[in-house]
Amino acid sequence: MKLLNDNKGYITGILIMVMIIPIMFLLITIIEQENHYINKTVENIQDNKLTIVTNDFQREIPLLTRKSMNNLTLSVIINRKPLVNATEELITDINYKLKEKEVFYEKNMGCIISCNVTDIKTSKTNPFQLEVSYKIDSKFREDSNISQGKKIYVELVDDEYPVYDPFAILKADTTLSNDIVYYNQITQLENSGVYDNAISGCVIKPCPYTNYEEHGNNNTTILNCINNHYYHESHDGLCIFCRLENKTSCLDYGIETFVIPTGIVEKAPVSIDHVLLNDTEGQYMGQVHILDNNTILYLDNGHKNKYGL
């Protein structure tokens, strides 16, 4: 104790300082770790929020695509004028709708989003689907951001926003009544008069009998298909974009539907839309196939086999 007193407390002070310095370093470390944890937590919350908002925005794209397809196909039917480039017009319309959504998300959620559809084509395996490619960038006013390119598949079929088939309207002398197209003098082949006042649908609906040979199992199946104007996958048929452009041939996987004639003869032009309405020497004859007293078809051997008839 004397030693401590003789040095006027210097040694005690030094000992205290030696003890305090590690404690201070420990406190500084703890505070830095806590700040890092808080900052990381805030960053994670911000990133999670951005991910949620971005995903919500992307869920808008299929609906906007169906709305645009509905508008585009209906306008072609009403105006009876084919499109020059259906794909580009569809992309332009969707991107216009996306810009409106971008404004809404920034105003209401504080999220700055830039989204553009870059390409649209029909699916290689399902002509009732569209393959939509797009790029999206999103961020809040802080540092977090998301940037990615994606490809999604959008069903053409939507009860609220149906996709209309303008093919018959553009190819033939027709009138539209509800969902039925009435044909008059659509071909110059022999016995083409059996298609005066013929009917088919103008809303694209895929046939539920996906094993097409089932159509021949009984008349109920084929008649249900005909009465509902269902469409079927076809390697020779036209995709929706070729239909909008009033083309006769198509390189993509397409669709076809029955056109129901009104007269009975032994043979007449085949009752498949892309055959009957082909205006570049693609029409050919088929044999009569009587389904009941009111319904007949004219089919070649290829289509008979396809539908089990």
pLDDT tens readout for residues 30-54? 555 554 444 444 444 455 788 888 8
With a CB cutoff of 8 Å and minimum separation 6, the contacts of 279 are 171, 248
Per-residue pLDDT for 254 more than 90? yes
Query: Whole-angstrom Cα distance, residue 157 to residue 135?
Result: 24
Question: What is the reported pTM?
Answer: 0.81
Q: Residue 219 has what pLDDT? A: 86
What distance in Å separates the CA atoms of residue 14 and residue 60, rounded to the nearest whole number? Answer: 69
pLDDT of residue 23 exceeding 70: no
* Interval 190-206: pLDDT, tens: 899 999 889 998 899 99
| H/E stretch holding 93 | helix 86-109
pLDDT at 46: 52
- What is the structure's pLDDT at 48? 78
